[in-house]
Structure 1
Amino acid sequence: MNNKELVLKAITDVFVNRDISAFDTYFSDNYIQHNPGIPNGTEVLKQFVPSLPENFRYTPGTVTESNGVVMIHGRYENWNGKNMIAVDIFKVSEGRITEHWDVMQEEVKAEDSANGNVMFPI
């Protein structure tokens, strides 16, 4: 499995299948989190994922990789009551996800945007 496949499988297992065992399978024991609201490691995430609302949905979009860094453009529906569009950035080393960054913004419908474009065209 290449890095893109690994990250996509891990994130799909976590957010689509809500399988918290994916953290043990795909994430490093020394997982570093760069989102300032989440501590390092996977323990908090293992507690957070099962608490997501039943109507939460994640849809991955474009996935790209460069030098061991994988980025996924995705859509989070009902994330804290809002639909969010994000780019999640993962560093992969020795077949495990070792670090994560994200850039997330609330989704704006095309008809409400200044340019008329959708934010997540898949």
Structure 2
Amino acid sequence: MDIQNTVQAELTDEQAAAEYRKAVKNKAVVRAAIREVVIGKDPAAAERLYAEDYVQHDPQVPDGRETFVQLLQSFPPNFKVEEGLTVADGDFVVFYNRVTGFGPEPLIAAEIFRLENSKIVERWAVYQPDMDKTVSGHPLFTPDMAGSR
């Protein structure tokens, strides 16, 4: 069976279209959360975009929407998040980015968000220091990676 037949066997056109719309909507929710809540520190946006019992799998960030918003208020004025790439699959969104102002050096982050009913309910994060030099000569991060191809 070729890939087209396999895909057609798994999803009808309507189901595939619904999954695509869900992924697009979930990406928009995560991007809005980063822009309005993480960078903008807007508590009203946090209520709209995060579940009250929001779960963190990041050792530096507490569970719960309210405690998360309080933590964000303590971030320095030079805190910045640059989007590299956002990818969605159903209820999961991966947000690849560069963070500055969170520590002494810029960090590259891959964050995985799980959403339910258009709200972020769970987050995992992996960080590593940004590097100017790599063995391959390619940077770890390029702003708007999806738009650069």
TM exceeding 0.5 = yes
- 1:29 partnered with 2:30: no
Q: Distance in 1 between matches of 2:73 and 2:116?
A: 27
- 1:51 partnered with 2:74: yes
User: Could you tell me which residue of structure 2 aligns to residue 119 of structure 1?
Assistant: 140
* Runs of 5+ consecutive residues of structure 2 not aligned to the other structure: 1-23, 144-149
Cα deviation code 1:51-83 (max 9, x no counterpart): 111111111121110121001101101212220
1:37 is paired with a residue of what secondary structure? coil
Q: Which amino acid aligns with 1:61?
A: G
CA RMSD of aligned residues (A): 1.5
> How far 1:15 sits from its partner (Å)?
2.7
Equivalences for residues 1-122 of structure 1 within 5 A: 2-109=25-132, 112-122=133-143
TM-score by length of 2: 0.74
Report which of the two structures shows the higher radius of gyration computed on alpha carbons: 2
* Runs of 5+ consecutive residues of structure 1 not aligned to the other structure: none
Report how many aligned residue pairs link the two structures: 120
- After TM superposition, the runs of 4+ consecutive aligned structure 1 residues lying more than 3 A away are none
Greater strand proportion:
1
Greater helix proportion:
2
Identity %: 28
Moved more, 51-60 or 92-101: 51-60
